[in-house]
């Protein structure tokens, strides 16, 4: 009985969301897309060609790419957490860590229609008398993470 | 009989996929960043006595590795001559050999030319080191299609 209640009250992920600040505004993600929240940890960088990827986090022997969204969402205070989320990228399920700039909250709410076409937003979350843009993580990853097309440098001979 | 059957079943049970292993690697630095290359893909390491003339060396074709991965023109003090000896990576320093138990695949979000540059990532104690894919560098150099980059 207790377990059933627990499931009904807390395991109904369809109405649970994670809210967090990005730049100057607060956004939300469907909790089913959020794997975990991580405290700030070292980001290991190495040369690569992907815009918006600043390196990788190492978590339990796995590497998680870190996507810096400041260019798309604006600069905020120092990063406080990483939201580790799953996304679809070129037809494959991938995991990405997004640095956020304030506290994260797990809330219950209702998904509503977005009033207009807003880039990276596919709906609005209504919770506690407030509304938060609900992010489309697949669209963010698809648009922000792109290989650079850099003119080939001449090899040193 | 039953005991024997049980044993054979136990032995035949499939095991999980083994982690990819790197074997012995050579750790080197280029452009201030540490990289690794499989030791069995390196023919020889040429030393500092050639530092002033590395760019004019006769013999293997030379790749300024730091320049090619977007780290700027490197300080070239060592040459990692790749097997079979027709191509060499010019690097800043060759640090040591190490035995690395596991190579982690490059996450799928990295889908640029870095997928060809590296075989994967080595997880060291406090560091993540790209493992160089030597066949790419040898082939790319031969085809003169080396590309630079700006991130990382």
Map out the domains of chain A as residue ranges: 19-142
Q: Determine, for residues B104 and A63 on separate chains, whether the beta-carbon distance falls below 8 Å.
A: yes
**B68-84 pLDDT per residue, tens:** 999 988 788 999 999 99
Q: What is the reported pLDDT for A145? A: 86
Q: What is the reported pLDDT for B75? A: 87
**Nearest by CB to A58, which of B67, B108, B128?**
B128
**A9-67 pLDDT per residue, tens:** 454 445 899 999 998 899 999 999 999 999 999 999 999 999 889 999 999 889 999 99
- ipTM for the whole complex: 0.80
To which CATH superfamily is domain A19-142 assigned?
Answer: CheA-289, Domain 4 (2.40.50.180)
> What's the whole-model pTM score?
0.79
Q: Which residue of B has its CA nearest to A145?
A: B109
CA distances from B142 to A155, B39, B58 (A): 11, 22, 16
Q: What is the reported pLDDT for B53? A: 55
Helix (H, G, I), strand (E, B) or coil at A8: helix
Structure tokens that stand for A11 in this block: 């395991």
C-alpha closest to that of A84 among A110, A60, A113, A50: A60
Q: Does A61 touch chain B (CB under 8 A)?
A: yes
Q: pLDDT tier at A74 (50, 70, 90 boundaries)?
A: confident
Most B CBs within 10 Å, among A146, A148, A155, A157, to test the B interface: A155
Most B CBs within 10 Å, among A45, A49, A69, A152, to test the B interface: A49
Q: What is the reported pLDDT for A155? A: 28
When the pLDDT of each residue in chain B is averaged and rounded to a whole number, the result is 79
**Nearest by CB to B146, which of A42, A58, A152?**
A152
C-alpha closest to that of A54 among A77, A37, A74, A71: A71
CA distance B77 to chain A (A): 14
């Amino acid at each position: 009985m207790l377990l059933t209640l627990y499931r009904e009250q807390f395991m109904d992920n369809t109405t649970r969301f994670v809210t967090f600040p990005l730049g100057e505004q607060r956004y939300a993600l469907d909790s089913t897309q959020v794997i975990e929240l991580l405290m700030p940890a070292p980001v290991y960088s190495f040369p690569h060609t992907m815009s918006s990827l600043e390196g990788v986090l190492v978590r339990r022997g796995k590497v998680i790419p870190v996507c810096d969204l400041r260019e798309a969402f604006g600069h905020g205070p120092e990063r406080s957490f990483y939201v580790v989320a799953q996304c679809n990228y070129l037809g494959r399920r991938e995991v990405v860590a997004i640095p956020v700039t304030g506290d994260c909250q797990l809330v219950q709410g209702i998904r509503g229609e977005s009033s207009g076409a807003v880039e990276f937003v596919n709906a609005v979350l209504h919770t506690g008398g407030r509304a938060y843009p609900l992010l489309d993580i697949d669209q963010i990853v698809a648009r922000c993470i792109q290989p650079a097309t850099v003119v080939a440098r001449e090899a040193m001979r | 009989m039953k005991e024997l059957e049980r044993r054979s079943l136990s032995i035949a049970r499939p095991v999980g996929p083994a982690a990819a292993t790197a074997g012995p690697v050579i750790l080197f630095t280029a452009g201030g960043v540490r990289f690794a290359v499989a030791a069995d893909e390196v023919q020889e390491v040429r030393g500092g006595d050639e530092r002033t003339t590395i760019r004019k060396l006769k013999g293997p074709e030379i790749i300024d590795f730091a320049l090619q991965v977007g780290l700027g023109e490197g300080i070239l003090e060592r040459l990692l001559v790749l097997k079979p000896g027709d191509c060499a990576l010019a690097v800043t320093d060759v640090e040591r050999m190490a035995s690395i138990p596991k190579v982690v695949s490059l996450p799928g979000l990295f889908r640029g030319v870095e997928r060809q540059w590296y075989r994967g990532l080595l997880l060291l104690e406090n560091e993540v080191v790209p493992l160089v894919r030597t066949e790419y560098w040898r082939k790319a150099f031969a085809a003169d299609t080396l590309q630079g980059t700006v991130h990382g």
